[in-house]
Amino acid sequence: MDALVLVDIQNDFMPFGALPVADGDVVVPVANALAPRFELVVATQDWHPVDHGSFAVNHPGTEPGQIIELGGVPQVLWPPHCVQQTPGASFHSALDIGPVHHVVRKGTDPEIDSYSGFFDNDHRKATGLEAFLRERGIERVTLLGLTTEYCVKYTALDGAALGFEVTVVADGCRAVDLALGDGERALAEMAAAGCRVVSSGDLG
């Protein structure tokens, strides 16, 4: 059984959002085209409390882009984004959520971030996505969404480590690219970890 996981296709990661991703909106039509072709579709949603530790404003004297330690692991600081119950946390209005069976909300603990759809960044707490997929007999997971080098990458790496066969749809992903090339390097890292990196046109 195959599942499609739509990663964080939320307003705040769009070019007009609080943590803008260049061309972030181009992933929406890719998601809409692929979703009806999967037996199971899950969407992840970055879902932070306003006091979340990944927000630079919650660490006086810091700025977005700086790296601190949070929950015992390195943490890039961001502008406030995807705050629970705000429009920025909503899925892009053009994303067709009809085919979405299940939503996994993550990053809810103020003390630790969760880039991966499977685990918090310290790998101590599971989101429930693995159990949800296994209960439904899913062995293969196809991923697309935002952002290539954070939430897509860590979901892909965790998925592969958990034993799922992971496919990443490169044209369905876009990167923050804090440093030029971060997105491309992330795709190479996912491929090196055994993920299949494809273009949506290659999917039968």
Nearest distance in Å: CB 190, ligand VGL: 13
Among the listed residues 147, 160, 186, 190, the single contact to ligand VGL using CB under 6 A:
147
**Residue 8 binds Zn ion (CB under 5 A):** no
Q: Which does residue 8 bind out of Zn ion, ligand VGL, none, counting CB within 5 to 8 angstroms by kind?
A: ligand VGL
* Cβ contact 106:118 at 8 Å: no
Residues with active-site annotation: 8, 106, 151
| Residue 146 sits in the site that holds ligand VGL (CB under 6 A) | yes
The answer to whether residue 104 forms part of the interface with ligand VGL (CB under 6 A) is no
Instruction: Tell me phi and psi for residue 34, to 5 degrees.
Output: -85, -35
CA 150 to chain centroid? 7
Asked if 46 is part of the footprint of Zn ion (rule: CB under 5 A), the reply reads yes
Q: Which two tokens stand for residue 2?
A: 């195959």
Using CB under 6 A, count the residues that bind ligand VGL. 9
DSSP string, 141-191: EEEEEE-IIIIIHHHHHHHHHTT-EEEEEEEEEE---SSTTHHHHHHHHHH
Binding site residues, Zn ion, CB under 5 A: 46, 107
